[in-house]
């Protein structure tokens, strides 16, 4: 970033004073920081709220920079110190989006408030719907195969279905859940595992039932977390890309 700024603001700019040139350099660095901070909010947080956060952060950053300059740091070092003290911009933006969406859910403006959404959370319910559905389907398919013959023989397609199910459920969860995807998947999988354990112990005490439970315990959780996280990041990137294309097209 500094190399780019050096090209845009070379040292031989006449006849600007060195102070004015440093102010312009500092302004560009602060604007770049604010752009990165607001990027995770696009498509989630309304413009008025994004602008309020940007303005408040900008004022806070300049106050930090002035304090560091008052401590004797150079202009460039003061900006570095202020950015380090304030924190990584993308992470701050993601945390703000998380908090904002949770507040919207709590107020009942983003989703219809029910007992379950108030007590459990919409993200967890969505993840449970995805993973619970594929879990029930896998249990029914496995039981049907086990009861189809006198001597149960595993079907060759059951294992691929068991391995692909958490990936598909994770992708669907990542597409539907915008914040706290990992926690939603982990909570939903805890309920799924409890249900599977109860089914195996009470209704299905066979090797095939135990195998399915072990697959869910040691494969579904990491695969679901990874696929949901990747899908969530991919859909966030897609929403930002589509927004930027729309914005550029609208201003051209």
Contact at 8 Å (CB) between 239 and 39? no
What is the number of domains present in the chain? Answer: 2
How remote is the C-alpha of 61 from its chain's centroid? Answer: 26
Cα–Cα dist 239/120, whole Å: 27
234/138 same-domain check: yes
How far from chain centre, in Å, is Cα 30? 25
Same domain, 81 and 201: no
Residue 250: the pLDDT is: 45
Q: In terms of pTM, does the model score above 0.85?
A: no
Neighbouring residues of 147: CB distance < 8 A, sequence distance ≥ 6: none
Q: pLDDT digit string (tens) for 137-171?
A: 887 777 666 555 544 555 666 778 888 888 999 89
pLDDT at residue number 227:
92
Angle at which helix 221-251 crosses helix 158-176, to 10 degrees, equals 40
Band (251; pLDDT cuts 50, 70, 90): very low
Residue that finishes a domain, picked among 79, 107, 135: 107
151 and 241 part of one domain = yes
Are both 23 and 87 inside the same structural domain? yes
Give the pLDDT confidence score for residue 107 in this predicted structure. 59
My answer on whether 47 and 161 are in the same domain is: no
100 shares its domain with 127:
no
160, 246: one domain: yes
Same structural domain, 125 and 96? no
CA dihedral 125, 111, 121, 119 (to 10 degrees): -110
- pLDDT single digits (tens) 88-110: 888 888 788 777 776 765 555 44
Domain finish residue from 67, 85, 107: 107
Whether 120 and 25 map to the same domain: the answer is no
């Amino acid at each position: 970033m500094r190399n780019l700024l050096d090209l845009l603001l070379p040292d031989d700019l006449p006849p600007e004073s060195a102070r004015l040139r440093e102010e312009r350099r500092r302004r560009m660095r602060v604007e770049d920081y604010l752009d990165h901070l607001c990027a995770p909010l696009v498509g989630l947080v309304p413009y008025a709220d994004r602008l309020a956060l940007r303005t408040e952060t900008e004022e806070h950053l300049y106050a930090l920079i002035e304090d560091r300059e008052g401590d004797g740091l150079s202009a460039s070092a003061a900006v570095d110190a202020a950015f380090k003290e304030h924190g990584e911009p993308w992470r701050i933006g993601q945390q703000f989006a998380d908090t904002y969406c949770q507040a919207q859910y709590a107020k009942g403006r983003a989703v219809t408030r029910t007992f379950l959404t108030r007590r459990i959370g919409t993200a967890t319910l969505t993840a449970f719907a995805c993973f619970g559905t594929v879990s029930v389907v896998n249990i029914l398919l496995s039981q049907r195969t086990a009861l189809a013959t006198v001597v149960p023989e595993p079907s060759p397609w059951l294992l691929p279905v068991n391995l692909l199910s958490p990936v598909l459920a994770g992708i669907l969860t990542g597409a539907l859940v915008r914040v706290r995807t990992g926690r939603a998947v982990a909570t939903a999988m805890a309920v799924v595992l409890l249900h599977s354990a109860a089914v195996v112990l009470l209704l299905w005490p066979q090797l095939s039932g135990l195998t399915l439970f072990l697959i869910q315990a040691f494969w579904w959780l990491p695969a679901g977390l990874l696929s949901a996280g990747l899908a969530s990041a991919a859909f966030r990137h897609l929403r930002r890309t589509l927004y930027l294309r729309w914005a550029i097209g609208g201003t051209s």
